[in-house]
Structure 1
Amino acid sequence: MSRRILVTGARRGIGAALAVALAEPGVTLLLHHLDAAGEADRVAGRCRDRGAEAEVLAADLADAAAVRDLAGRTGPVDVLVNNAAHASNVDLGELPLAEWQRTFAVNVTAPMLLAQALSPGMAERGWGRIVNITSATVRLGGPSGPSYVASKSALVGLTRSLARTLGPAGITVNAISPGAVRTEGEAELAGDRDVAAAHAGVVAAQAVPRGLVPEDLTATIRYVVSDGAAALTGQVLEVGGGLVLG
């Protein structure tokens, strides 16, 4: 059966790993990026190598009009993976309102708008999957800044609300919560902080004491969007090596 899958923030890191994991014959991957066409094209090539079709789409998810335009350009989709995020590490005392607003626009409003635009088509077909990528910081309260933690908490609430709303139409809505996964974006955001030292502390706190990579999430995403996961909805799946339990 053919599937059309939109993955936001698919140019590298977790988004790229999820997109490639979902690529197979009969699947069309719609790979969203912001100002990174070269990287997104390389991910598209990896998807095509696995037998899928792939298309690259640019949009600034902080702009509601651009989000609606993106939904229009994708056409009908069967699976929506809301992975793109604005990763804010600004401390409370220095947090501008504009930074707070942009973080919520990308991390919460854009997933809502995409679900609003794309779920009616899923409902017409009686099948759909929406997967929101949250963060273990929701459970831990940090170390990211307050706008990021609060936005990812709001995304969990959105996940549960959409699961209730869309379940009768055959659409499941779940969240995957990564732990401390090593990505390029994380290193760029760290600034003067020692990322390796921070990760060592996190790994020591995990039940599975090893560093995590984006590919640690791929088996989970494949299950969540499968026919076999039809009874799984409104859940937050922690994939963090046991950093948080229960």
Structure 2
Amino acid sequence: MDQRILVTGARRGIGAALAIGLARPGVTLLLHHFGAAEQTEGVARLCRVLGAQTRTLDADLGDPAAVGELAGEAGAVDVLINNAARASNVPIDQLSIDEWLATFAVNVTASMLLAQTLGAGMAGRGWGRIINVVSPTVLLGGPSGPAYVSSKAALIGLTRSLARALGPRGVTVNALSPGAIRTEGEDELEESDRAAGRGRTDLVATQAVPRELIPEDLVATVRLLASDGSGALTGQVLEVGGGLVFR
């Protein structure tokens, strides 16, 4: 099945792993990044080796106008993966309204705008898949800051609302909750927390599968969600977190 897939935040980490995992002949991958063209092009090269066609798209998801331009450049898309996120770890006593709004702009508003525009095209064609990457911190309340946790909770609500709205027109909408995935972004957050004297919850210690997960652990689930065979699977939050057990 030929597919045209947009992955936001595809320059590294989860987004890069998902793009590479979905790459195959017949697939066109639209790889979004923001100011990291060379790194994203490296991901694109790997995808082309696997047989996919690729295009890189630069956009600031914190700017609604830029999000609209991104949707226009992407054109007709079969699968939308809203992966890009602003990983705010600012504690409540230091949280500014600007930080709160900036986090929601990227994590919620951009996802909504892309789903609104690209999802309309999917619905018109009678087939589509939208996958929103969320976080187990919605249940944990940490280790990230309240802006990030709240934004991911809002994205789960958006997922369920979109699933109800678009389901009758052949479009499924699901959320993927990755668990304790080791990425460069996670390393940067840990370094930031250590510098600020803040501790972090050890998620791996609460997992049923006692190992640190990697982005590639998510690929099989995303392949399912993006497939023709997932037409009855919608409005769900799929936890791919090694069986997190909350204490």
Name the TM-score class by shorter chain: over 0.9
TM-superposition CA deviations, 1:87-117 (whole Å, max 9, x none): 0000000001100000000000000000111
Correspondence for 1:229:
230
| 1:52 matches 2:52 | yes
Correspondence for 1:92:
92
Distance of 2:159 and 2:31 partners within structure 1? 21
Q: How far is 1:198 from its partner?
A: 5.0
TM-score, normalised on structure 2?
Answer: 0.95
Q: How far is 1:190 from its partner?
A: 2.3
Q: CA distance change for structure 1 residues 104 and 193 in 2, over 3 Å: closer, same or farther?
A: closer
Distance of 1:209 and 1:194 partners within structure 2? 24
| Correspondences of 1:96-115 after superposition (within 5 Å) | 96-115=96-115
TM-superposition CA deviations, 1:139-192 (whole Å, max 9, x none): 111110000000000000000000000001100000000111000011122235
| Correspondences of 1:10-25 after superposition (within 5 Å) | 10-25=10-25
TM-score, normalised on structure 1?
Answer: 0.96
Q: How far is 1:2 from its partner?
A: 1.7
TM-superposition CA deviations, 1:116-136 (whole Å, max 9, x none): 111121112110000000001
> Structure 1 unaligned runs (5+)?
none
Correspondence for 1:215:
216
Alignment-mate amino acid for residue 189 of structure 1: L
Alignment-mate amino acid for residue 35 of structure 1: G
Distance of 1:43 and 1:244 partners within structure 2? 34
TM-superposition CA deviations, 1:36-86 (whole Å, max 9, x none): 001100000111011000000000000000000000001100000000000
Alignment-mate amino acid for residue 167 of structure 2: G
TM-superposition CA deviations, 1:6-58 (whole Å, max 9, x none): 00000000000011111110000000001100110000011101100000000
- 8 Å CA contact retained: 2:190, 2:200: no
Q: CA distance change for structure 1 residues 162 and 190 in 2, over 3 Å: closer, same or farther?
A: same
- 8 Å CA contact retained: 1:132, 1:155: yes
Distance of 1:244 and 1:71 partners within structure 2? 38
- The number of equivalent residue pairs is 243
Correspondence for 1:42:
42
Correspondence for 1:206:
207
Distance of 1:240 and 1:4 partners within structure 2? 27
| Correspondences of 1:1-246 after superposition (within 5 Å) | 1-193=1-193, 198=200, 201-244=202-245
Distance of 2:168 and 2:204 partners within structure 1? 40
Helix, strand or coil for the counterpart of 2:185?
A: helix
- 8 Å CA contact retained: 2:143, 2:200: no
Distance of 2:110 and 2:183 partners within structure 1? 22
Alignment-mate amino acid for residue 118 of structure 1: L
- 8 Å CA contact retained: 1:173, 1:234: yes
- 8 Å CA contact retained: 1:136, 1:244: no
Q: CA distance change for structure 1 residues 193 and 102 in 2, over 3 Å: closer, same or farther?
A: closer
Give the 4+ runs in structure 1 shifted more than 6 A: none
Alignment-mate amino acid for residue 206 of structure 2: A
